[in-house]
Amino acid sequence: MNVKLGVKKKKRILEYIKWFSIFLLIFFLIIENYFFNVHIWYVRILFLLFTIFMLSLLFICTDKGKRAISFFYESKLEMYKVVWPTLKKTFYTTLIVLVVTLLLSLILWCLDTIFIYFVSFFTRLRF
């Protein structure tokens, strides 16, 4: 029992170190872009790419990173299970959306015209 607690504590400390390293790299990246903007652009881009690569590796090693990768993998598997509509269904659905949008825009245009007419009528009245 005591050994399991020690292992869990080591894992938690290791997670904290990984996340601290991630935030430290992000901090250094911001500082580098702010203070060293006069350096050659391709050196800055190489440093940016290297930092993003290191951040990705560190994130993948964390528990949340492993869960995120697992989530993306499962999402990809679910994409294969989806029954996608045929071209005909997609066309008709798009056509219905366009017709309804056109009708609603005409209704709103008519209402707007009527309201403008009433407002202009009432503002012209002199008591």
**Grouped pLDDT means (10 residues each) for the chain, 127 residues:** 72 90 91 78 85 93 93 94 93 98 98 95 81
Question: Helices (H), strands (E): how many in the chain?
Answer: 4, 0
- Rounded Cα–Cα distance for residues 86 and 61 (Å): 41
Report angle CA 42, 45, 48 to the nearest 5 degrees.
155
pLDDT at position 1, please?
56
The CA-based diameter of the chain, rounded to the nearest angstrom, is 92
In this prediction the pTM is: 0.56
Instruction: Supply the pLDDT for residue 112.
Output: 97
pLDDT of 44 reads: 83
- Residue 3: the pLDDT is 63
Task: Give the closest residue to 56 by CA, choosing from 14, 26, 15, 32.
Answer: 26
